Chains A and B, each alone.
Chain A
Amino acid sequence: MEFAELIKTPRVDGVILHRPFMPTVEGTLCLTGHHLILSSRQDNAEELWLLHSNIDSIEKRFVGSLGSIIVKCKDLRVIQLDIPGMEECFNIASSVEALSTLDILSLMYPFFYRPMFEVIEDGWNSFLPEDAFKDLETMTDEWRLSDVNKDCTVCPSYPPLVAVPKDVDDDTLRKVATFRHSGRFPVLSYYHKKNGMVMMRAGQPLTGTNGRRCKEDEKLINATLRPGKRGYIIDTRTINLAQQAKARGGGFESEGYVESIKSNILQESLIKLVEASNWQTHVKEILTTACLAAQCIDREGASVLVHGTEGTDSTLQVTSLAQIILDPACRTIRGFQGLVEREWLQAGHPFHHRCAQSAFSNSKPRQEAPVFLLFLDCVWQILRQFPCSFEFSESFLVLVFDHAYASQFGTFLGNSTAERAKLSLPEKTVSLWSWVNRPQELERLTNPLYEANSLVIWPSVAPQSLLLWEGVFLRWNRSSKCLDEAYEEMVHIIEYNKELQNKVNSLRRQLAQLETEDPLLQTLE
């Protein structure tokens, strides 16, 4: 298929672009296979480049022969284009509609994008499961890396390599997989170095109405527990009951699981959620559950198994947030990338399905849900409460959000490791991390207030402490000038301090040197 077939009018002159809090721009509108471009074709004038995949919905309006299209984007930006001529307007609108709803992965922009920067480190190889396991091996020898899923047949949404208890063999894993939703048998999510406790995640057990049990499943869970120790099972669907759903003496309790599968409450329009403030309720609930999991591990010294229904959505929110709370490494730029790789991409969060549409879509939601955005929002809440404990600034989270929905990079394409391998993404596309992990980008994303600290950070989940994430939800509806100015001032204060410290230190060294070199001074003293 050629993109040209979809582009009815490639170019229109005299188009006026309206954006809130920005001056209007008049220029030429061009449509390419992947972009909507508006350029005033004047020097130093700003151009608009919009990925079709970023467009969530478009509306047409006509006043006389002047048509307008209102483009609503997945990053929550809304722009208006005034297009002279009815026919042109119609053509542009229908072309954009067709191009932005193309659901053929191999035609996505990342397959066509060629980087204009030097790749220092290929992000596709930066966070491999085997490397993560090497780190684990330095701390404990109770785990092994199983390749039971090497053909992705035991669990299609798992990566080929997963960490499981050493004493559990592959046959047992295969049997457990039949007892868990989508074959998602319990695997290691996080090892808490401080006390050796672990967090596991899985799909829900298929106990059915008659309380079916699975010997192997119980064996696997037991293998994660220390003798005589208790563990916790957190079912993300029934947050209030989570505390009660304890596994006693390492056993496996079935109560609470027979409950019928609840429809995913997150599948509502985003703006509606924000408006109805249900969004904030979700933020509070997810954070509360993550704190609960972290508390079990750190405070009570117990291991935890987290699951929801499939184990690909709320489960991942909880396990990844618990790690942000517990593990200082996850609060660095690189550590956070590793967390997103491990707990979201490799763990099989269906990014392609979940991010196909966003807040403004008119079509009925099928599998779209802002699960990942909700996670990022929770991270931002913790970042806001501990502004000195994160190596990255808010802009990094916003960047990850943007790229999860529409990107020139292949990182968030597909629904699982298996799908990504099938598309040959590592060979054919560039990783977002290749771009981020360059000095000039890292500098831009670094939090000037960061001071590494190795402690567990406990966020407040009181409603008073949780705010609307303005950086995302109001990004296009406010002028950021004064906030940017404040940020620059903050950077300036800290940079200046560092500069002075260097100067003083070098002076002190000189002075010390002078004192030792000058015997006269020594005698004088």
Chain B
Amino acid sequence: MEHIRTPKVENVRLLDRSSGQRKASTGTLYLSATHTIFIENNPDTRKETWVLHSMVSSVERPPTIPAGSQLILRCKDFLVFQILIPQERDCLDIHTSLVRLSRPEKYSELYCLSFNPNVNKVEREESWNFIDIMADFKRMGVPNNLWVATAANSEYRVCDTYPSQLFVPKSATSAIFVGSSRFRSRGRFPALSYFHQDTLAAVCRCSQPLSGFSGRCQEDEMMLQVLMKSNPGSDHIYVVDTRPKLNAMANRAAGKGYENEDHYTNIKLQFIGIENIHVMRSSQQKVIDVGEMRSPSMTDFLYGLENSGWLKHIKAILDAGLFIARAVADEGVSVLVHCSDGWDRTAQACSVASILLDPYYRTIKGLMVLIERDWVSFGHKFSHRYAHLDGDPKEVSPVIDQFLECVWQLSEQFPCAFEFNERFLIAIHTHIYSCQYGTFLGNCQKERRDMRLYERSHSVWPQLWKDRAEYTNPLYKDKLSQSPGFLRPNTTPYCFKMWKGLYNHVEKSTHPLQSPADFLSAVKEESQQLEEELTNHQEVPPGGTAHHHPLGSRQGILNTKTPP
């Protein structure tokens, strides 16, 4: 609370710019330790707007105008609020407070760690067991006679950004992978991400080798060899370097780089060309700008979108995932994926490949498991990439945004293949940035353990699971009736669209248009009630109390039905 100088200002005007609101509403602004709260004066509505401090990405103070002083709040979920405060002094105070509050310096300032964790002790402990990655490995048939668990990293000594439990080829001795880890950037040696039971091929991940121009490492070469041998059906593996070849070559000058095909037997090296985090950061900024344009012409809009290059990057990531999935499912060849440190592009490519390969990851629970495995557990710099704490702006980049968008693009091409809807993806996106739960805090498992996160906060997944009705796609046909397990998306450029649900809030509120999905969900819900009623009628003897569910519960879903 020490950062709040003025907790309450009256006669403030607020304009929700991103939702296309045209007329500002007048009300009172409150600052709490966790939220900025605005309550409308209008006694009929008393509408409340709550903005979590951790969701604020920037606070701008444009020049003062005669009506007062202005603030512009830009949020990490792409909402933009314009605030007009009558007194400049108040405005300055609010500005200073918000700048400080929106940039926490310590984890303990974050929302999820700001309340007593022992109020719901049992619930808290259970929340962390809700998603079980080991159970998922078991689901894919691991461990088996090809892949085994290793405890070598249980104290995070081999690789401090890896999880404690890992799967490696059965014939990989600890000497081999420990040796390999010394030859890999940040010690991230090849480990199992996904095992494909039908072909016995595997998706593995690591970081770039420290090869420079001529460096070699016998253990690393052996590691790749045993990796190939762990797939009895093939005589080579693909090494997918997700970076553009030029970037990979440039890394050689710094003593890093990529595998030399002369030194490694039976590997095929493939570059994909996903750009680095800095390119992606500026590309996303351009998409946000496009979404914020006010009454642009068609040309402005399309040119802006094209010029951002964003969809080109999404396509590159999807292409990477598709390459891996094809190798595994069609050719039965194992794939080793890396980029530089193996925690950004590698996570993207591996998780997209899993989504394409395995229908389980297209369910609500399955996507949670996938994110927990390839992102949370394998180490991804959540706190840096999504600016949880005040830090280096160059570390910020929308890496997981892009993964979520790939999933959305796929759901547009395969409307029946995903159990969840767009709202689920957007909810995950919000939670990744907001830190209301501990799930996405820190950059790796060790860090989370060191800060005793599991004792001090809750996991987000049970909460999302509880709300799953809201996140369900009515068109989903479960994996049993769905003919292809392997999704083969069309990745020609014209198949990629702007994800308006995430970037463009304007369409949503100025035109509350009809949503077929919501309509169908309501119809399905009604059908379920009818089914219940039918069973009741059949069970209850004549004259008994039969439940009469009111028909037409979907009234009001269609906005055009309510008179203006």
The verdict on B295 contacting chain A, using a C-beta distance below 8 Å, is: yes
Q: Is the CB of B511 within 8 A of A465?
A: yes
The verdict on A388 contacting chain B, using a C-beta distance below 8 Å, is: yes
List B contacts of A389 (CB < 8 A). 514, 560
The verdict on B531 contacting chain A, using a C-beta distance below 8 Å, is: yes
Q: Is the CB of B534 within 8 A of A500?
A: yes
B500: contacting residue among A453, A464, A507, A524, CB under 8 A: A464
The verdict on A493 contacting chain B, using a C-beta distance below 8 Å, is: yes
Taken together as a complex, chains A and B put the C-alpha atoms of A388 and B560 apart, in Å, by: 9
Cβ < 8 Å to B, chain A residues 385-403? 385-389
Q: How many A-B residue pairs have CB under 8 A?
A: 133
Cβ < 8 Å to A, chain B residues 23-46? none
Q: Is the CB of A508 within 8 A of B548?
A: yes
Q: Is the CB of A455 within 8 A of B560?
A: yes
The verdict on B406 contacting chain A, using a C-beta distance below 8 Å, is: no
Taken together as a complex, chains A and B put the C-alpha atoms of A518 and B542 apart, in Å, by: 10
Cβ < 8 Å to B, chain A residues 443-466? 449, 451, 453, 455, 457-460, 462-466
List B contacts of A477 (CB < 8 A). 492, 494
- Residue-wise, chain A 487-502 has the 8 Å CB interface mask toward B (1 for contact) of 0011001101100110
The verdict on A24 contacting chain B, using a C-beta distance below 8 Å, is: no
Closest CB-CB distance, A290 to chain B, in whole Å? 16
Taken together as a complex, chains A and B put the C-alpha atoms of A515 and B560 apart, in Å, by: 39
The verdict on B359 contacting chain A, using a C-beta distance below 8 Å, is: no
The verdict on A514 contacting chain B, using a C-beta distance below 8 Å, is: yes
Closest CB-CB distance, B316 to chain A, in whole Å? 20
Q: Is the CB of B527 within 8 A of A463?
A: no
Q: Is the CB of B558 within 8 A of A451?
A: yes
Closest CB-CB distance, A157 to chain B, in whole Å? 31
The verdict on B298 contacting chain A, using a C-beta distance below 8 Å, is: yes
Closest CB-CB distance, A159 to chain B, in whole Å? 34
List A contacts of B417 (CB < 8 A). 482
Taken together as a complex, chains A and B put the C-alpha atoms of A496 and B530 apart, in Å, by: 11
List B contacts of A467 (CB < 8 A). 497
Taken together as a complex, chains A and B put the C-alpha atoms of A341 and B401 apart, in Å, by: 49
Chain B interface: which of A34-42, A116-124, A195-203, A276-284?
A276-284
A482-B542 contact given A280-B302, A386-B514, A500-B531, CB 8 Å threshold: no
The verdict on A521 contacting chain B, using a C-beta distance below 8 Å, is: yes
A453-B561 contact given A465-B511, A500-B534, CB 8 Å threshold: yes
Q: Is the CB of B514 within 8 A of A474?
A: no
Q: Is the CB of B298 within 8 A of A280?
A: yes
A466-B298 contact given A458-B511, A497-B527, A503-B534, CB 8 Å threshold: yes
The verdict on A479 contacting chain B, using a C-beta distance below 8 Å, is: yes
Taken together as a complex, chains A and B put the C-alpha atoms of A453 and B504 apart, in Å, by: 28
Closest CB-CB distance, A479 to chain B, in whole Å? 7
Q: Is the CB of B560 within 8 A of A465?
A: no
Q: Is the CB of A453 within 8 A of B558?
A: yes
B414: contacting residue among A455, A459, A462, A482, CB under 8 A: A482
Task: For B513, give the chain A residue with the smallest CB separation.
Answer: A385
Q: Is the CB of A385 within 8 A of B511?
A: yes
The verdict on B272 contacting chain A, using a C-beta distance below 8 Å, is: no
The verdict on B4 contacting chain A, using a C-beta distance below 8 Å, is: no
The verdict on B393 contacting chain A, using a C-beta distance below 8 Å, is: no
Q: Is the CB of A504 within 8 A of B490?
A: no
- Residue-wise, chain A 478-490 has the 8 Å CB interface mask toward B (1 for contact) of 1100110110011
A281-B298 contact given A493-B524, A507-B537, CB 8 Å threshold: yes
B510: contacting residue among A284, A457, A460, A500, CB under 8 A: A460
Q: Is the CB of B523 within 8 A of A493?
A: yes
A497: contacting residue among B507, B516, B523, B561, CB under 8 A: B523
- Residue-wise, chain B 483-516 has the 8 Å CB interface mask toward A (1 for contact) of 0000000101011011010001011001101111
A511-B537 contact given A388-B514, A462-B506, A504-B530, CB 8 Å threshold: yes
List A contacts of B59 (CB < 8 A). none
Closest CB-CB distance, B324 to chain A, in whole Å? 21
Taken together as a complex, chains A and B put the C-alpha atoms of A451 and B299 apart, in Å, by: 35
Q: Is the CB of B299 within 8 A of A511?
A: no
Task: For B490, give the chain A residue with the smallest CB separation.
Answer: A478
The verdict on B88 contacting chain A, using a C-beta distance below 8 Å, is: no
Closest CB-CB distance, B500 to chain A, in whole Å? 6
Task: For A479, give the chain B residue with the smallest CB separation.
Answer: B490
Cβ < 8 Å to A, chain B residues 530-560? 530-531, 533-534, 537, 542-543, 546, 548, 551, 558, 560
Taken together as a complex, chains A and B put the C-alpha atoms of A483 and B417 apart, in Å, by: 11
Q: Is the CB of B511 within 8 A of A511?
A: no
Closest CB-CB distance, A253 to chain B, in whole Å? 27
The verdict on B291 contacting chain A, using a C-beta distance below 8 Å, is: yes
Q: Which 10 A-B pairs have the closest CB atoms?
A: A463-B301, A486-B415, A500-B530, A281-B298, A460-B511, A388-B514, A521-B543, A497-B527, A277-B302, A463-B298
21 A-B pairs with C-beta separation under 8 A = A281-B298, A281-B299, A385-B513, A388-B516, A388-B560, A455-B563, A462-B296, A464-B291, A464-B500, A464-B504, A464-B507, A485-B416, A485-B477, A489-B416, A489-B477, A497-B527, A500-B527, A500-B531, A503-B534, A514-B543, A521-B543
Apart from A453-B561, A463-B301, A500-B527, 18 more pairs, CB < 8 Å: A280-B298, A284-B297, A284-B298, A386-B513, A451-B561, A460-B510, A464-B506, A474-B494, A483-B415, A485-B415, A486-B415, A493-B475, A493-B520, A497-B523, A504-B537, A507-B534, A507-B537, A518-B542
A→B interface (CB under 8 Å): 277, 280-281, 283-284, 385-389, 449, 451, 453, 455, 457-460, 462-468, 474, 477-479, 482-483, 485-486, 489-490, 493-494, 496-497, 500-501, 503-504, 507-508, 511, 514-515, 518, 521, 524
